[in-house]
């Protein structure tokens, strides 16, 4: 189980905006924000301390990423100044704090985002949840590409394979894929394609809705989707992404558009 957030804008996000997201995620990873099913009556104990990572677009429009085994709430922000300065110049930023699924190791290669080369080009992926019996999920073209014993990485390739087969109807492909994952699984995810830039945000869970419900807020030039509602300048009105819903975000020629399905 994890916490994650993604921002996409028609313009550079700016350092102040990035700082607001990161600061909230620091508090969230330390279990200092909202009450939910896992921390009711013991807030502060349900920490996301198994590492964290973020990704953004560089000046050439390519995905860059940073991952760390240090819990985000223990990081020295001064030492990360260059990371967040680069992210501030990007129109896209995604961050994930990890609470490892049972029996999975705490190693850097298991930290999200997963950034991979695929037939669709470079992609970035983060996941909140656990896929039950993930070994049974059929993979298209990518079985030999898996680098970890991670349910999240397998989910990434499972989704990319089906998206690759049905680019003419990407929404149907992604929704049908989720409908056929093993029962009892949780699959909140963000999937980002580098070129042309497209981002998908999907909410899929079977229990603990307070913890797993996704939220989003937008204005004329920016949309943010997050595990929790944040206080962000210019984005005060938050909405709920219903279970089973998916948001597709397009950004082309400095124009932003998005739609919920």
Per-residue confidence band for 138, with pLDDT thresholds at 50, 70 and 90: confident
51 to 92, 187, 201, 234: CA distances (angstroms): 21, 19, 22, 29
Find the domain containing 189 and state its range: 2-260
DSSP-assigned states of every residue in 122-157: EEEEEEES--TTGGGS--SS-GGG--SS-HHHHHHH
- Average pLDDT estimate for 49-67: 97
Per-residue confidence band for 137, with pLDDT thresholds at 50, 70 and 90: confident
What pLDDT digit, counting tens, does each position of 92-110 carry?
999 999 999 878 899 999 9
pLDDT score recorded for residue 239: 98
What pLDDT digit, counting tens, does each position of 224-258 carry?
999 999 999 999 999 999 999 999 999 999 999 99
pLDDT at 141 over 90: no
Q: Which residue has the tokens 């819903």?
A: 245
Per-residue confidence band for 20, with pLDDT thresholds at 50, 70 and 90: very high
What pLDDT digit, counting tens, does each position of 169-212 carry?
999 999 999 999 999 999 999 999 999 999 999 999 999 999 99
Per-residue confidence band for 71, with pLDDT thresholds at 50, 70 and 90: very high
* Terminal-residue alpha carbon distance, the chain: 24
What pLDDT digit, counting tens, does each position of 204-230 carry?
999 999 999 999 999 999 999 999 999
pLDDT score recorded for residue 178: 95
Under a CB-based contact definition with an 8 Å cutoff, are residues 155 and 137 in contact? yes
Give which of 191, 245, 238 is closest to 34, Cα–Cα: 238
pLDDT score recorded for residue 135: 86
pLDDT at 1 over 90: no
The chain-wide mean pLDDT, for the chain, equals 96
Residue 249's CATH number? 3.60.20.10
3-state SS assignment for residue 41: coil
Total structural domains within the chain = 1
- Average pLDDT estimate for 38-65: 97
pLDDT score recorded for residue 140: 86
pLDDT score recorded for residue 86: 98
pLDDT score recorded for residue 103: 82
Structure-token pair, residue 168: 């003419």
> Residue 239 and residue 256: Cα distance in Å, rounded?
19
- Average pLDDT estimate for 7-32: 98
Q: What percentage of the chain exceeds 70 in pLDDT?
A: 100
């Amino acid at each position: 189980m994890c916490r994650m957030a993604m921002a996409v804008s028609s313009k550079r996000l700016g350092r102040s905006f990035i700082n607001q997201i990161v600061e909230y995620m620091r508090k969230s990873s330390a279990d200092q924000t909202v009450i939910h099913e896992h921390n009711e009556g013991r807030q502060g104990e349900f920490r996301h301390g198994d590492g964290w990572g973020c990704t953004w677009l560089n000046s050439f429009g390519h995905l860059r990423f940073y991952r760390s085994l240090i819990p985000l709430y223990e990081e020295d922000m001064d030492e990360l100044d260059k990371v967040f300065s680069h992210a501030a110049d990007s129109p896209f930023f995604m961050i994930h704090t990890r609470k490892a699924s049972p029996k999975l190791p705490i190693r850097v290669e298991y930290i999200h985002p997963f950034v991979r080369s695929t037939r669709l080009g470079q992609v970035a992926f983060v996941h909140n949840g656990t896929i039950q019996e993930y070994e049974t999920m059929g993979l298209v073209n990518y079985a030999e590409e898996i680098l970890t014993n991670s349910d999240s990485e397998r989910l990434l390739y499972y989704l990319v394979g089906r998206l690759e087969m049905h680019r003419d109807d990407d929404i149907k492909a992604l929704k049908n894929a989720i409908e056929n994952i093993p029962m009892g699984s949780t699959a909140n995810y963000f999937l980002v394609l580098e070129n042309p830039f497209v981002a998908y945000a999907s909410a899929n869970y079977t229990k603990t809705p307070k913890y797993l419900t996704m939220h989003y807020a937008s204005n004329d030039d920016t949309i943010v989707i997050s595990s929790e509602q944040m206080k962000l300048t210019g984005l005060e009105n938050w909405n709920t992404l219903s279970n089973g819903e998916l948001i597709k975000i397009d950004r082309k020629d400095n124009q932003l558009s998005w739609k919920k399905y």
